[in-house]
Each structure stands twice: as structure tokens, then as C-alpha cells.
Amino acid sequence: LVPKTFSETEAEIADIRELARQSGVSVATVSRVLNDYPDVSDDTRERVLAVAAELDYMPTAAARTLVTKRSHVVGVVLYTGHEHPDIQHPFFQEVLVGLKHSVGAQKYDLLLFSTEDDENGFGTRGYLKRSRHHHVDGVVLMGVDGRDPAVRELSGSRIPCVAVDLDLVGPRTGYVMSDNQRGAELAVEHLHELGHRRVAHITGLMTTKPAADRLLGYRAAIDRLGLRYRDEYIQEGDFYVESGYQATKALLEGPEPPTAVFAASDLMAVGAMQAAHERQLSIPDDLAVVGFDDIQIAPLVRPALTTLRQDKAGLGRAAGEALVRMIEDTAFTPPILTLPVELVVRESSGPPMTHDGETHDKEV
Amino acid sequence: LVPKTFSETEAEIADIRELARQSGVSVATVSRVLNDYPDVSDDTRERVLAVAAELDYMPTAAARTLVTKRSHVVGVVLYTGHEHPDIQHPFFQEVLVGLKHSVGAQKYDLLLFSTEDDENGFGTRGYLKRSRHHHVDGVVLMGVDGRDPAVRELSGSRIPCVAVDLDLVGPRTGYVMSDNQRGAELAVEHLHELGHRRVAHITGLMTTKPAADRLLGYRAAIDRLGLRYRDEYIQEGDFYVESGYQATKALLEGPEPPTAVFAASDLMAVGAMQAAHERQLSIPDDLAVVGFDDIQIAPLVRPALTTLRQDKAGLGRAAGEALVRMIEDTAFTPPILTLPVELVVRESSGPPMTHDGETHDKEV
DNA sequence: TTGTAAGCGTTATCAG
DNA sequence: CTGATAACGCTTACAA
């Protein structure tokens, strides 16, 4: 029971050896206790645990990782470059919360890779390299471009990956996504039910899967409902406000402007409202607007935005759960998950003004 | 030059020993090259670097951390509990971006401690313990309560810490914060200049320093401008929408309702606008509203919100830079930084309606 | 049920 | 300028 040197005025940080000494057992036994091995006598276990608590002992992750090859850390690749200078898309923030909660519950922490446009030193952005460097047990990818070679390198590796809103697959890579197509259909159906026949669509960034799926859903609904599909009712946006604004201006300048517009994001829907407002059009009377996402601001804008709610936290949670399963069970196949979306009707959608509400359209 | 066994079909992950072998030098020398030691011959250096590049070598962080006691990882404590069920305050998200960029530029990564209400296993929420576990070189704290014992334990330790929007100090702990008092003064001055004499204030959560400072600034400006301070013009909120809504309802019910309200957050300002709207009051004519933060939605609500812009990314950046300095220079004193705020005039503030605009007030 | 000892992949301290 | 070799704090056969 020789006390260790108390040279420092601050408390020494206890070591597993120190713990062993004070418990009167070997480090191996301490390790067994700490890792819940069954073959330890209750007596010993209790004693070690007591000393551990007293010393406020906590194992060093680095040492453990080094030998076990597991870090209990999940990497997060989340693009936060300068593409959209002031704005982060609010979507991912909420996903992150869900993710954090679900992996946290399983005792994993999140490592945010600081990955901007420009290389910050070693290599450009070697996601795989960095994942190995930190020995992360798995990775969640969000807001990145699936065509990026660095992304493909990672998704092609044996490190478990889950992408959010991105159709990435690989030997150990799956993804979670909202039911974007169905969501778009719901949007169009809703507008159709209200009496709209001239429904335009502002797409998201067309290099992304969600944008493509929403356009698909839009078309499918248009066809199924017997509405006429018109090329000039499609405007390409990029998910952000400004593009929605420009797209709507263009739509409104046409010879036969739409009475309703379905934007593939709430941000673009807000832009659409601004454009309408600028032309003295009232919403929803002159122009009905439906968004997608149901971000925080959706109920706060005036008029409150009708939109398709994505279960953002749910996406994060699903991603986290899937990832942990993949990590802990090598046999578990990378899943592809689709989460339902929900139409939330607020004030920005209503019937078209009567004079063009009814039947002068060519239904089937 | 005996090649290592290529037993696996997948590429082997090169080790520093492998690197040494293929370079024809010892691991020590390789280490020297990799860590930019000066005492290596250019010849050797080049050779090693070449092989390293070819093998796509990347050192294992865990091993390095174990021996150097430095992880090049910064911990982030960001409360994301269930207090405000669906919402994250948008403020911190933007701070996080700035933080990520600044520490990323210095080659640090961010470890998000998954810290909810409930304990997720080991101990409740031992921030210090977990910081040591992961060997983080420093910690940034946001959205936490400074009175939390776990927080105090961390800020009292020798681990470098920087708090954001929280007046935390300690041997190695400093903080960054906006000039909240000045911001509040600017808000009141702005309203006063517009002709308002009955200016109310909805405070933030009064257990926080920013809320206290904003109230201080409000009072200071009220006094300096010779306006009458009235207790009934002060309503306590909690930074979120609902509290702003309730506070404004209460204010509007008084015998002599204010013509302007300064809310300590944009979210509460939005709540204020809703309350006004509900009473058929038009903004800014019947009620001028000024917020604080300039979050993303501020320019998007109708009318667009006048507010005090905090340099959110700047706060994150400042926190990151200060932290890294503290990490790399033990002698560097924990700084207390105050960043300026800027009045952004939009549509929600204007002169009061003429009938009570002018002079029936007791100016000095 | 427990102890001994060999690593895990690096860096750091010595000699040479 | 370079090479052995001992840590770093922990887990894990292998023995006892």
C-alpha cells in the first residue's frame, strides 16, 4: 500500500496499473473486470470496481483503440465548404441531432472531419485515409457529392458507411433517404385536389438523387391525374432561396403561368413566395406554393408554408442505428432505408382563384 | 527488397515498419521525416516521402496520441437534449461551422461529445472524464449551463477550454461572446431615433450571460436617452419562439402598450410578430420589432426582421483560434473575447404611427 | 479464477 | 545524420 509519489499538487490521473496495485490484483484482471468478462470472481470484481470509482478511473481510448482496432467513434463527413457562403442547409443540422442521439445511446461519439474545399494540409480530402488515421469504426456521409472520387474511395472500402440523402452503395455502404418520389406525388395530388391544373415544379440540384426522385414523383402524379405535362413548367433550381426566386420569376413570365408551384425545398419555396410577392401576387390565391423538407422556418414565414415533412431526426437516427449494426455485426448487409414523408398543410396552399379554378383543362 | 506476403486480396495497409523497410531506413528515421525533423539528409527525406506517397501511408492517430499525449482533436460539448424538443437553436449551428473551419485549418478535427440529458452509460455526463478518455487537446463548450458541476469540473481543469456565449473562466478556460450590451443599446437607440418612446424588452433566458447583458444594455440606453424605464415593459423569455409570443401578448394587454419591442433573440421576435399579427396589429406601423442574432430566417420572414447581427461564424472562428493558441502555447493566457455586433435594419422596424410619434414624453 | 508477457503503431532517448 | 530500443496504456493469448 505504498502511496505513489504525490509530487504534483494536482491529482494524478490514475492508470490501469495504479488501479491494479490499489486493488491488489494484476492489470489483466482489472482489464477483465472493466470489460465485463464473466470469468472474474464477484469478490474481485467488486473490489476493482470500487477502487475504479474512487480513483475516477477512465481508460485511455488511444491505448484501447491501438490494440482492439476499434475506436467507438463514428466519423461524419459533412460538407461545409464555401459553396453557399452564408448558409448551411438547415436540413443536415437536424439530421445531425438525430444521429448524435442514436449513436450516443450506443456509446459512440462523433468525429466531425473538418473537410472544406481546399486541402488543409495532407492530401486533398482523403476521407478514407482520414478514416483510417482516426480508426473510426464507421462513417456517415452527408451533403457530399456522390461522384467525388474521395467519396467513392471511402464507400468502396471495407469501412461501414451510411449515406444520408445520397444513393451511395458499396460492399459495406448503404443509405437512408426520405420517400422523395411519394412526397412529390403527395404535393401534386394535394394541389390537384384543391383544384389546380397548372402545377409547376422547381427542381432541386439535379445531380442529386432527391431532386431526381422528386421530379419523378411530380411527373408520375401529373400523368396519373391526367394533367398535361409541360416542359415550360419545369425550372431547375439548386435547393437554395435564390434559385427558387429566379425560377418563379421565369415561370410567372410565361404566357400561361401556373396557378401552383411545387418547389423541391422549403428554401426555394420561400424564394418563390418572394417572387410572387414582388409581382403583387397573393399567396395562396394567385399562386399556391408547396415546399419540401419542413425546416424550422416553414411555419414561421407568412403565409405559413405548406410542405412535405421529412423526418430529419429520424433519418439521422436511422443512419446511426444502421451504421452501428453494420459495425457490430459484420454479416449485416448494408441497408437501403426509405422513410415516409408527410404532407403538412399550412397557409401557402389553397384553391386557385375561381376564374381559373375549374374545367377549362384537358383532363382524361 | 523481399516483398511482404500478399496473402490478402485487398491492399495491405502500410505500417511505419513497412515504410521503413521499403525505404531502406529505420523506423526512427521514417518518423523523423514524417514529423519534419531538420536532421535528416535531403536524400533520405525524399526517398521516404516518395515511398510514403506510393504506399498511401498515413500514421495511426491512436499510436501517436498514446506516446505524444496529443490527439489533434478538439472536443465539442454542445447540449442537444430534449429541452426544446424539435428545435436546435440555429445560432450554434453557424458557430459550429466557423469553429470547424478554423480548427480544421490548423489540422485539428472536432469530436462531438454525445451528451444528452440522461446518462448514456458510464457516469452521468463527465465532460472532464470523457475529455481525458479521448485525450482531446482542448474543448469548446456551447449551449451548456455554466452552473452544471460537470461543466465546472472541466473548466476548472488544466485542459484548455473556450466557451461560447457563456462567461466561463478557469486556469485554462476563456470565452468568446458578442458585445451583447452594446447590441441592446443599438437596438434601443435605433427605435428611439425612429421616434419610439415606449420600448419594451423581451429578455432571453435570464440564467445566461447574454440575456443579462442585453437587459443591461437595454436599461443603459433607456436611461441615457431619457426614456422612462418601466417594469411592466420587461418580459422574461427563454430565447425561443413561444416565449416571445406569450411575452408580446402580455405586453399588448397592458394599459399603455409599447410601440416597439426589442426581443433578445430573432426567434422570440418572430413570436412577437405572430402575437401582433393575431391582434391585427401591423408591423412596423402598430408595433416595431427588433430581434437579436440575425439567424438565417431573419430576412425571410415577412416583414423582414430588423435585428442585431452576431458574427456567428466569427465567434466559432475566434473560439477555435483562441483554443488552438492555448493548446500550442502553454503560456498563452485564456482570452476573453468580445466581438462587435451590427444593426441590420430591415422592414420590421419603422416610425410609430404619427398620433403617438412625437413629443408627449418626458425627455431630458 | 488469476497472473505473465507479448504486442498494438508510434515517438523519443540514447548511442554511434 | 541514423539506428536500436524503451516507452505510451491497454487487451489478450497462454499458463498456472
Q: Nearest residue to C9 (CA, C1')?
A: B63
The per-residue pLDDT for B198 is 97
What percent of chain A shows pLDDT beyond 70? 88
Quick check: A234 pLDDT over 90? yes
Quick check: A197 pLDDT over 60? yes
Q: Which residues of A touch B65 (CB under 8 A)?
A: 62
Contacts A–B by Cβ distance under 8 A: 147
Q: Cβ B114–A113 below 8 Å, yes or no? A: no
Picking from B300, B305, B323, B344 by the largest number of A CB atoms within 10 A of its own CB, the best residue to mutate is B300
Which of A 140-199 lie inside 8 A of B, CB atoms? 158
Q: Nearest residue to C1 (CA, C1')?
A: A40
Confidence of residue A11 (pLDDT cuts 50, 70, 90): low
**A66: CB within 7 A of chain D nucleic strand:** yes
Longest dimension (CA), chain B: 96
Mean pLDDT of chain B: 89
Q: Is B299 on the interface with A (CB under 8 A)?
A: no
Average pLDDT over residues A228-244: 96
Mean pLDDT of chain A: 89
**A40: CB within 7 A of chain D nucleic strand:** no
**What is the chain B residue with the closest CA to A271?**
B300
Q: Could you count the other beta carbons within 10 Å of the beta carbon of residue A65? A: 24
β-pair type (B73-78, B138-142):
parallel
Q: Which residues of A touch B277 (CB under 8 A)?
A: 302
Confidence of residue A82 (pLDDT cuts 50, 70, 90): low
Quick check: A73 pLDDT over 90? yes
Half-sphere exposure of residue B128: CA atoms within 13 angstroms, side-chain side: 16
CA nearest B180: which of B156, B213, B223?
B213
The per-residue pLDDT for A129 is 92
What percent of chain B shows pLDDT beyond 90? 79
Say how far apart CA B156 and CA A250 lie, in whole Å. Answer: 59
* Residues ≥6 apart with Cβ < 8 Å to A248: A202, A235, A261, A271, A272, A274, A275, A276
HEC profile of B23-35: HCCCHHHHHHHHC
For residue B293, the 8-state DSSP code is B
Q: Give phi and psi for A85, each to the nearest 5.
A: -35, -65
**A15: CB within 7 A of chain D nucleic strand:** yes
pLDDT in tens, B235-293: 999 999 999 999 999 999 999 999 999 999 999 999 999 999 999 999 999 999 999 99
Angle at B184 between CA B240 and CA A90, to 5 degrees: 40
Average pLDDT over residues A129-157: 93
Confidence of residue B1 (pLDDT cuts 50, 70, 90): very low
**A21: CB within 7 A of chain D nucleic strand:** no
Which of B 196-225 lie inside 8 A of A, CB atoms? none
Concatenated DSSP letters for B112-124?
E----SS--SSSS
**A70: CB within 7 A of chain D nucleic strand:** no
Helix axes B241-253, B266-278, angle to 10 degrees: 50
Least trusted range by pLDDT, from A161-175, B201-215, B294-308: B294-308
- What's the one-letter identity of residue A271? G
* Dihedral angle sign, alpha carbons of residues A49, B152, B134, B92: positive
Reduce the DSSP state of residue B159 to 3 states and report it.
coil
Quick check: A2 pLDDT over 50? no
Calculated CA dihedral for residues B51, B52, B56, B62, nearest 10 degrees: 150
Q: Is B104 on the interface with A (CB under 8 A)?
A: yes
**What is the chain A residue with the closest CA to B295?**
A87
Candidate from A80, A277, A301 with C-beta closest to B100: A80
Q: Is A56 on the interface with B (CB under 8 A)?
A: yes
Q: Which residues of B touch A61 (CB under 8 A)?
A: 62, 133-135
- Minimum CA–C1' distance nucleotide for B37: D1
Average pLDDT over residues A136-143: 95
The per-residue pLDDT for B302 is 86
Neighbouring-strand partners of residue B109? B73
Query: Do the beta carbons of residue B172 and residue B140 sit within 8 Å?
Result: no
Candidate from B59, B60, B103 with C-beta closest to A114: B103
Average pLDDT over residues B62-74: 96
The per-residue pLDDT for B6 is 35
Quick check: B359 pLDDT over 60? no
Confidence of residue B88 (pLDDT cuts 50, 70, 90): low
The per-residue pLDDT for B7 is 34
- Minimum CA–C1' distance nucleotide for A64: D10
pLDDT in tens, A102-130: 999 999 999 998 765 544 444 456 899 99
Confidence of residue A361 (pLDDT cuts 50, 70, 90): very low
Confidence of residue B361 (pLDDT cuts 50, 70, 90): very low
**What is the chain A residue with the closest CA to B99?**
A114
The per-residue pLDDT for B117 is 52
β-pair type (A260-263, A199-203):
parallel
The per-residue pLDDT for B354 is 65
Q: Nearest residue to C5 (CA, C1')?
A: A28
Quick check: B87 pLDDT over 80? no
Quick check: B132 pLDDT over 50? yes
Which of A 240-279 lie inside 8 A of B, CB atoms? 241, 270, 277
- Give buried/exposed letters for B213-237 (b at 16+ CB in 10 A, else e): bbbebbbebbeebebeeeeebbbeb
Average pLDDT over residues A308-312: 96
Confidence of residue B84 (pLDDT cuts 50, 70, 90): low
- Minimum CA–C1' distance nucleotide for A13: D9
Query: Do the beta carbons of residue B183 and residue B147 sit within 8 Å?
Result: no
Quick check: B3 pLDDT over 70? no
Confidence of residue B154 (pLDDT cuts 50, 70, 90): very high
The per-residue pLDDT for B363 is 40
Least trusted range by pLDDT, from A91-100, A155-164, A165-174, B44-53: A91-100
